[in-house]
Structure 1
């Protein structure tokens, strides 16, 4: 039986629901009671799927509903899409208040699912006659513990400080304000989530052999969430931020630490390393594809990392959401003339972030970067990424703007630029004003680019032909970069910097670019790139690698927040190519397409004013008015 069929028919198929509501209310023609549910295997599985249902969609959720990508500086939608419900677009322009509606609705949805998990844990019991053994009950209880911890992590990550009563079961659906309690200090919640994830990890398997269980919680998922959470919790936004010194709850307790504590970095190091060790021991590894000569094909490896399923050998996936709306994502990244909405692009700053083919950033004098002028010939770089028979495996063609030439493989997998290959129609993109891919409306590239990353070259939007793939919530590549960062921040010494770079280099090896070294480099050989033996120098290359490797995956916004760099990065003019340009002379010029506003309050989502009015013990998040 096909793996996709298991996904559609198995328990997690129910998890495509957009919110977690009381399961007893789902069958209006049937008077369901808790005993009726927990004496029936099908209804038990339905309830459990309901607990899973609020896991964010890494495709359309990160892009539109939650908006992590739009709030950051990787993806950029057409600003005029706000009239069709893109509620986060005004946020990027400074139009964000405690009365602003947010489709993510974590404050309402996640507590409802936490409640459903508590009810499940309290009522589930073995049903041997229906195939639910005591061991299966133990697993399902641990899954619910994981989901509770995961949802509280999401709440703390979004709002900073939230009311906290993890085992509470309200008589009906509720939101956090209904607890009629003030917020709990940030690290109190984090410590509970940390402990609970470890408890669940001790029970759950590292992976499942049954395809129908794909997407169910595993020990590796527990450790992955824990590692990401503790990295955030060690970062400057929450670990010793003096800006929050006066932010206290209704009991007078400080909700954030105002003095940096290096032990938070130590915990992050240990959590990241434990995840890597346990994952690799269980057979998880970076996804790669090889060329005929046995070397890594960086183009196919990076492209198919996001398109291949776990059962197709993609064991880099540590945490997946089997049901995701990749169709809407791909439609908005496809030109209007080809059946799409054609306005989901990338920022010029992301274009500039990708390295050159020699592994150096474009601002390095030795990188060989040229912005002006055009190429004179086709370049293939010995790859088979799209359609070799049609385009000869070309990466760039004659008359390609030099800005896009001689860049690293991940750039060509991630960015659709003018004169680059469009595999669906076996032609080149034409983003000039009035040309095939720029109708000069809201459904056109507003700054001369479309997102290519995570878009299948086999997708044909016009024919509604989409290629199934899971939504990746967490992967091993991120784990390596998380560990590198935590290690460099915690231990300021040569040995730690060397180890940190070794994990960055695992990513760069797959990407097909030169590794870093702390040792002296012979310029005549130049097989490696020298990095100064300082914490700041290694921090710089780790952050640059994160920007490129993890772009478009919903991670960048949290990075900018936790580093406290959002105000500097997300304020001011955003650039691209000239959307109005009708020829090369006018199109290829850095042009401001949007001016963004990021206020100090924006580091946390505000508690909606309607919730504040329900509970006078709540304190609005810092600097919101």
Structure 2
């Protein structure tokens, strides 16, 4: 007990200086004692909140947990060939080596590098910290009635956080590993655990119970509570009623999904077969969140997609939080990204982890100057970005023209994707650097070197603007850069609500908790970016395809695609195992003068086609990661996942 209390005291004080989560200092203002009694961590709100702060600190930063990282494991991204030698998690998944998760330092979920007291982002990984944090929640829940002295409001807030975290750490592990033992009691030291490994659905039932309790106990806004007044204006990373309801809905939707209902299998025959009752429960939880938001009863809201120059992520005057600032901020005094749309984030540190080696892993090596590992959007995935009229590219009424493939696309395409002819360097590019002034991403172009450029015909800039390069320097220290990808944001709630309601009754499906239908929820997000509404021609399975495509576009490169393909029973299917490049020849802009005077979206090309880079050879065992072998040796009931 002494070690646990001393560790949370140290971490809370340290976070105050190093991270956005500055309010921890106010909860712990004394030196950790060397002779702490069993009751000390739980005796009042100040001490117990400090105890909980260590759990917040254990949340990994998915994109900055190492010098270079992997977080997109689906069909959405491919790395440079050098990264294969470096054994990045994304490349290991490509070759089917799912065991690599267990000790891959570049992967946020890895089992190694667990240090709950460290302020170094490189010391935070999910799996090892998960069991530690679950044990902390159980101990605190057991002790609160025995030792805590305080108001009912204080006790509710403390218990709400503990119940949420117990459910959340289990849920995040379940997404990768399937059903697990659900640890909801304190195990005494020396006790040999014999908890049975539950099915995914049994685990989801336990998660739901904890998240329901959390939703009942947590406040809507900490700043409006008496305990929260002490840290007024610094509570934006803390758990709220909205956080708990949103994850309650996600837990139900995942449980309702085809994989969890029909088991791991190839062929995709059950991809549209969800559990109706679980989908209804999911819709109701999401519906409560959306109803609060739509009626202005919560602090959460969608960020603005309003730009004077979308290619450079230059937001319009008067916009407080832009869409780009969900993921990256600069010139805002190290402000952590996410704004009022982020629902769950962990604490993070700023410039040194942003600048090295994250912010410059999205563009050509010669301009970005970092380790030769960078993130490239696959052509097959970029094809999800439809047309400005809202239709998918392959719809006969979409207006998509292979001679002008970048014209009239979904506005998010121009925000997220660097395509041929986009002005990549705004400053003065001299010598060899001049060839990157305009992105040369046509076949054989200046940016298509496989080792140091793009092997797919695209670069991405959704998460970090292309101006984070050695010439424009938008990620240099004096610009105060900070990067973070939230675990959940409000747009995801609208998307998950749309999916759950589509299960119930297609486009017109809705929850009694909310006025919006499924199609209304999708159109809210399209209205935000100025994209056409979902066509009324889609119904049944074709409508669900549109819901899924919207999810692919809105949440692109945020680390969700693998789990979506997994739960939809599509991970093994040919359309989603191929990674392709975009090949074409320039017609306009052969000498680049065209791009100096015209919007690159207007360029004409020839021979526009995809070519295969690789195909993943997956079978049914790849729907789940293998458990740690050491864990399966603890007791016989903790069985390994099938096929591993």
Q: TM-score range by the shorter chain?
A: 0.7 to 0.9
- Answering whether residue 580 of structure 2 is matched by residue 575 of structure 1, we say yes
Residue number in structure 1 paired with 2:98: 96
- Answering whether residue 567 of structure 2 is matched by residue 562 of structure 1, we say yes
Instruction: Answer whether contact 2:362 2:460 (CA < 8 A) is retained.
Output: yes
Of 610, 626, 632, the match for 1:590: 610
Deviations 1:408-458 (A, max 9, x none): 2100111112321225647422357997756653x4323232221121466
Q: State how 1:144-543 maps to structure 2 within 5 Å.
A: 144-171=162-189, 179-209=193-223, 210-241=232-263, 261-280=275-294, 281-288=297-304, 301-307=322-328, 314-323=339-348, 326-327=354-355, 328-338=357-367, 339-341=369-371, 343-372=374-403, 402-422=404-424, 425=427, 427-431=437-441, 437=447, 440-441=450-451, 443-456=452-465, 459-460=468-469, 463=476, 465=479, 467-468=481-482, 470-491=484-505, 499-516=517-534, 529-532=535-538, 534-543=539-548
Give how far 1:565 is off: 0.9
Shift in alpha-carbon separation, 1:273–1:45, aligned structure 2, 3 A:
closer
Of 50, 66, 86, the match for 2:88: 86
**What SS does structure 2 have at the residue aligned with 1:330?**
coil
Shift in alpha-carbon separation, 1:290–1:574, aligned structure 2, 3 A:
closer
Question: What TM-score, normalized to structure 2?
Answer: 0.73
Give how far 1:404 is off: 2.2
Distance of 1:552 and 1:13 partners within structure 2: 34
Structure 2 residue ranges without an equivalent (≥5):
1-14, 112-125, 224-231, 267-272, 317-321, 429-436, 591-604
Distance of 1:489 and 1:170 partners within structure 2: 44
Shift in alpha-carbon separation, 1:326–1:194, aligned structure 2, 3 A:
farther
Distance of 1:603 and 1:31 partners within structure 2: 48
Residue number in structure 2 paired with 1:253: none
Distance of 2:101 and 2:389 partners within structure 1: 49
CA RMSD of aligned residues (A): 4.2
Give the paired residue count. 539
Question: What TM-score, normalized to structure 1?
Answer: 0.75
- Answering whether residue 550 of structure 2 is matched by residue 545 of structure 1, we say yes
Give how far 1:606 is off: 1.1
Distance of 1:493 and 1:504 partners within structure 2: 10
Distance of 2:627 and 2:16 partners within structure 1: 39
Instruction: Answer whether contact 2:61 2:484 (CA < 8 A) is retained.
Output: no
Distance of 2:102 and 2:148 partners within structure 1: 47
Give how far 1:618 is off: 1.9
Task: Single out whichever of 506-515 and 38-47 deviates more from structure 2.
Answer: 38-47
Shift in alpha-carbon separation, 1:81–1:289, aligned structure 2, 3 A:
closer
Shift in alpha-carbon separation, 1:43–1:145, aligned structure 2, 3 A:
same
**What SS does structure 2 have at the residue aligned with 1:594?**
strand
Shift in alpha-carbon separation, 1:236–1:572, aligned structure 2, 3 A:
closer
Shift in alpha-carbon separation, 1:99–1:495, aligned structure 2, 3 A:
closer
Residue number in structure 1 paired with 2:629: 609
Distance of 1:356 and 1:72 partners within structure 2: 23
Shift in alpha-carbon separation, 1:605–1:13, aligned structure 2, 3 A:
farther
Shift in alpha-carbon separation, 1:346–1:329, aligned structure 2, 3 A:
same
**What SS does structure 2 have at the residue aligned with 1:329?**
coil
Shift in alpha-carbon separation, 1:616–1:435, aligned structure 2, 3 A:
same
Task: Single out whichever of 220-229 and 331-340 deviates more from structure 2.
Answer: 331-340
Instruction: Answer whether contact 2:134 2:183 (CA < 8 A) is retained.
Output: no
Of 1, 6, 10, the match for 2:22: 10
Distance of 1:62 and 1:349 partners within structure 2: 28
Shift in alpha-carbon separation, 1:607–1:588, aligned structure 2, 3 A:
same
Deviations 1:194-217 (A, max 9, x none): 121121122211123323322111
Deviations 1:128-162 (A, max 9, x none): 9xxx8664344223212211111111122221111
Distance of 1:261 and 1:361 partners within structure 2: 28
Structure 1 residue ranges without an equivalent (≥5):
15-25, 245-258, 373-401, 517-528
Task: Single out whichever of 80-89 and 348-357 deviates more from structure 2.
Answer: 80-89
Shift in alpha-carbon separation, 1:13–1:277, aligned structure 2, 3 A:
farther
Distance of 1:186 and 1:573 partners within structure 2: 28
Shift in alpha-carbon separation, 1:289–1:567, aligned structure 2, 3 A:
closer
Instruction: Answer whether contact 1:237 1:563 (CA < 8 A) is retained.
Output: yes
**What SS does structure 1 have at the residue aligned with 2:259?**
coil
